[in-house]
Structure 1
Amino acid sequence: MAFQQLDPPIPVQVIDKGKGYAFAVIDYGPEHNLIWVTALDENGEIWCAPNPLVRMQGNWTMGRAKPPLPSPVNDACVGIAPVSSG
């Protein structure tokens, strides 16, 4: 297992939780997803989110569009249930 503190933190979107800053990553090895330790903007909660549920936040200056919701086909491949859009 490896734990890496991110300096500076990375602005991310955790699907079904909201926007926040990832301040650490946990790597349990080749058989597991990376785990992003993220502090949420809205309520200050800290979540450990698996890699398939984490997206970079959009950044107009950098030319990065708002991240799309994951497709059910791709998520089925990693064992994550599809996310409803509403």
Structure 2
Amino acid sequence: MFTQLNPPIPLTVKDKGDGFAVGVIDYGQEHHLIWVTIITDSGEIWCAPNPQVRAPGNWTMGRERPALDSAH
């Protein structure tokens, strides 16, 4: 199933950089969600599995900018 995100969600893709997810692909319970993301600096579009993406920090919610070192 493909879900278009409106509005897009800001996130970081490991080894690619910051961008905005414009869609999510869900292949079912045996698979990670796949985030369709436009990378801000390059304009590239990447489909990244869930362990490779992180939400940005959010001062209001008390969430620091996450490290991607622990991503698989």
1:14 aligns with 2:13: yes
C-alpha deviation, 1:58, in angstroms: 1.3
**Structure with greater proportional strand content:** 2
TM-score, normalising length: structure 1: 0.76
Unaligned runs of 5+ in 2: none
C-alpha deviation, 1:38, in angstroms: 0.2
Counterparts of 1:31 and 1:70, CA distance in 2: 24
Paired residue for 2:52?
53
**Structure with greater proportional helix content:** 1
Alignment length (residue pairs) = 72
Describe the superposition over 1:31-68 as per-residue Cα deviations: whole angstroms up to 9, x where unpaired.
Answer: 11100000001011000000000100112244321012
1:34 aligns with 2:33: yes
Corresponding residue SS for 2:58: coil
Unaligned runs of 5+ in 1: 81-86
Q: Please identify runs of 4+ aligned residues in structure 1 that moved more than 6 A.
A: none
